[in-house]
C-alpha cells in the first residue's frame, strides 16, 4: 500500500527534499522543525549533477540557476606555489557529459528555494518551533496532528530520531576540523579564480575556494586535523587560535594564501562529525536519511547531494512496494551507494593531504592524465539517476 501520510522531522536540505519528493508521489507530508524560524548557518555548497538532476525534477533548480555559479572546472593547485596541478572540466562540458549542471551557491540560497517550493505545495505542512526531546511515534503524531504510516528522521548528525532505530549509529568526531571564511569578492586577491572551484593542497591540509555569486563573495574552507570539541557545532575562534591554526596546519604554504586566511573577517571553526555504522530503519515505518543516517566528511563534496539522493530514492521506493519492504531495500541500496562515495572521499583526502614521495608521485600522475580521463572516473557519482530502482 502506498504511503498516504508521512511525518518528516527536520527542515534542512534532507527533510525539505524528502517532503517535496514524497508529496510528488501523492503523500500528505507534515514537516516538524525545532527552530522557531528558518535560518541557515554555514556558507557555501557544491551541488553536482546527481543532485541538480533531482532538484530539477522537483522544480527547484530553476530557482537556483539564476543565482548560482556554474564553475568552468574543479582545479587542484599547490598550496605552496599556487600553481595548478590538474583540472576536471565542468560548465557546459560537464552538463553535457552528466546530463545536468554543477553549481556552487550559498547554503541559504538552496534552503530558501526548497522552502519556497514547500510553501507552494498543498500536500505539505511545515510546523516550526516543534522540539521533541524524547521522540516516539505517538508524540510525533500528536505534534503533527495526524496519523502517519511513514516517519522520516532528517534531523542531522545529532539526530534524536536515531533513538527509535535499534542498532543505529552514533555521532563521532572525525578528527578533522573546518575553518570557514567568507570574504567580499572585491577584496579577494587575484590568485583566487572567479570562475572555478579551486582546491589548494598541502601536507595534511587543503583549502577549497569558490565564488558565491549571489552574495558577491568568495567562500574558503580550510580542512585539517584538529581536536575534539565535544558536542559543539560552530565556534568563533580567537585571533590567537586562528594564527596558531595557520602556523601549524599551513606551514610551508604560500605566504599570500596564509596572509589571506589571517586577515579574512569573522572566521568560524567547525568540528567535523560523522556517524558510526549502524541501522537506518526499523524495517517497519521509520527511516533515517542524510546526516542522521550517514553524516559524511566533505572530501568528495557530496554531503548535501547524498541527502538529496536519499530523499528522492526513498520516495520512489515507498511509492512502489509496501513500506516495510521498501525501507529494507532502500537501506541496502543507499548504504552501498554512500559507502562507495565515502571511499572516494577517503581517496581524495589521501591525495589532497599527501606529503613527500607520495605527493611527488601524485603530481606526476596528474601531469600525464588527460582531463577527460579524470572526468570519466566521476561518471558513476555525477551520472547517478536517483529514483531509478535497480533491477
Residue 11 lies in a domain: yes
Dist CA 214 CA 135 (whole Å): 38
Structural domain range at position 130 = 5-70+101-170+276-356
**How do strand 5-9 and strand 28-32 relate by DSSP bridges?**
parallel
Report which of 46, 268, 307 is spatially closest to residue 157, judged by C-alpha positions: 307
* Model confidence, pTM: 0.95
Residue 84 lies in a domain: no
| Cβ proximity of 86 and 369 under 8 Å | yes
Q: Is 103 helix (H, G, I), strand (E, B) or coil?
A: strand
Q: Cell for 324?
A: 516495510
Residue 198 lies in a domain: no
Q: Cell for 380?
A: 558513476
- For residue 121, the domain's CATH number is 3.50.50.60
Q: Is 136 helix (H, G, I), strand (E, B) or coil?
A: coil
How many domains in the chain?
Answer: 1
Residue 204 lies in a domain: no
pLDDT values of the chain reduced to their tens digit, one per residue, 391 residues: 579 999 999 999 999 999 999 999 999 999 999 886 666 566 789 999 999 999 999 999 999 998 999 999 999 999 999 999 999 999 999 999 999 999 999 999 999 999 999 999 999 999 998 888 888 999 999 999 999 999 999 999 999 999 999 999 999 999 999 999 999 999 999 999 999 999 999 998 999 999 999 999 999 999 999 877 765 556 788 899 999 999 999 999 999 999 999 999 989 988 899 999 999 999 999 999 999 999 989 999 999 999 999 999 999 999 989 999 999 999 999 999 999 999 999 999 988 888 888 888 887 888 878 888 889 999 999 999 999 876 5
* One-character DSSP codes across 257-307: HHHHHHHSSS-EEEEEEEE-S---B-SSSEEE-THHHH---GGGS-HHHHH
Residue 29 lies in a domain: yes
Residue 51 lies in a domain: yes
Residue 385 lies in a domain: no
The H or E element spanning position 153 is strand 150-153
Residue 246 lies in a domain: no
Dist CA 190 CA 63 (whole Å): 30
Number of H helices, E strands in the chain: 14, 14
Amino acid at each position: 500500500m502506498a504511503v498516504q501520510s508521512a511525518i518528516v522531522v527536520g527542515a534542512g536540505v534532507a527533510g525539505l527534499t524528502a517532503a517535496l519528493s514524497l508529496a510528488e508521489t501523492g503523500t500528505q507530508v507534515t514537516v516538524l522543525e525545532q527552530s522557531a524560524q528558518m535560518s541557515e548557518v554555514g556558507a557555501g555548497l557544491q551541488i553536482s549533477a546527481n543532485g541538480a538532476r533531482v532538484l530539477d525534477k522537483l522544480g527547484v533548480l530553476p530557482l537556483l540557476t539564476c543565482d548560482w555559479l556554474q564553475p568552468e572546472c574543479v582545479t587542484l593547485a599547490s598550496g605552496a606555489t599556487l600553481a595548478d596541478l590538474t583540472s576536471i572540466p565542468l560548465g557546459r562540458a560537464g552538463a553535457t557529459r552528466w546530463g545536468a549542471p554543477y553549481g556552487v551557491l550559498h547554503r541559504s540560497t538552496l534552503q530558501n528555494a526548497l522552502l519556497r517550493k514547500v510553501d507552494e505545495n498543498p500536500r505539505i505542512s511545515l510546523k516550526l518551533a516543534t522540539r521533541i526531546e524524547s521522540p516516539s511515534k505517538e508524540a510525533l503524531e500528536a505534534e503533527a496532528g495526524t496519523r502517519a504510516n511513514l516517519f522520516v528522521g532528517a534531523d542531522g548528525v545529532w539526530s534524536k530520531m536515531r533513538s527509535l532505530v535499534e542498532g543505529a549509529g552514533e555521532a563521532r568526531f572525525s578528527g578533522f576540523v573546518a575553518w570557514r571564511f567568507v570574504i567580499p569578492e572585491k577584496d579577494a586577491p587575484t590568485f583566487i579564480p572567479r570562475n572555478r572551484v579551486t582546491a589548494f593542497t598541502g601536507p595534511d591540509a587543503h583549502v577549497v575556494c569558490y565564488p558565491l555569486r549571489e552574495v558577491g563573495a568568495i567562500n574558503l574552507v580550510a580542512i585539517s586535523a584538529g581536536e575534539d570539541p565535544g558536542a559543539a557545532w560552530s565556534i568563533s575562534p580567537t585571533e590567537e587560535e586562528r594564527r596558531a591554526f595557520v602556523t601549524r596546519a599551513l606551514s610551508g604554504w604560500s605566504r599570500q594564501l596564509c596572509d589571506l586566511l589571517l586577515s579574512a573577517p569573522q572566521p568560524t571553526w567547525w568540528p567535523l562529525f560523522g556517524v558510526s555504522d549502524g541501522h537506518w530503519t526499523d524495517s517497519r515505518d521509520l527511516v533515517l536519511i542524510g546526516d542522521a543516517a550517514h553524516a559524511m566528511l566533505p572530501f568528495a563534496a557530496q554531503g548535501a547531494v547524498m541527502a538529496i539522493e536519499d530523499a528522492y530514492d526513498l520516495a520512489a521506493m515507498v511509492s512502489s512496494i509496501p513500506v516495510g519492504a521498501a525501507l529494507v531495500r532502500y537501506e541496502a541500496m543507499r548504504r552501498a551507494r554512500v559507502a562507495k562515495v565515502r571511499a572516494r572521499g577517503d581517496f581524495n583526502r589521501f591525495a589532497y593531504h599527501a606529503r613527500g614521495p607520495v605527493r611527488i608521485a601524485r603530481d606526476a600522475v596528474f601531469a600525464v592524465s588527460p582531463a577527460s580521463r579524470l572526468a570519466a572516473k566521476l561518471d558513476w557519482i555525477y551520472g547517478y539517476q536517483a529514483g531509478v530502482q535497480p533491477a
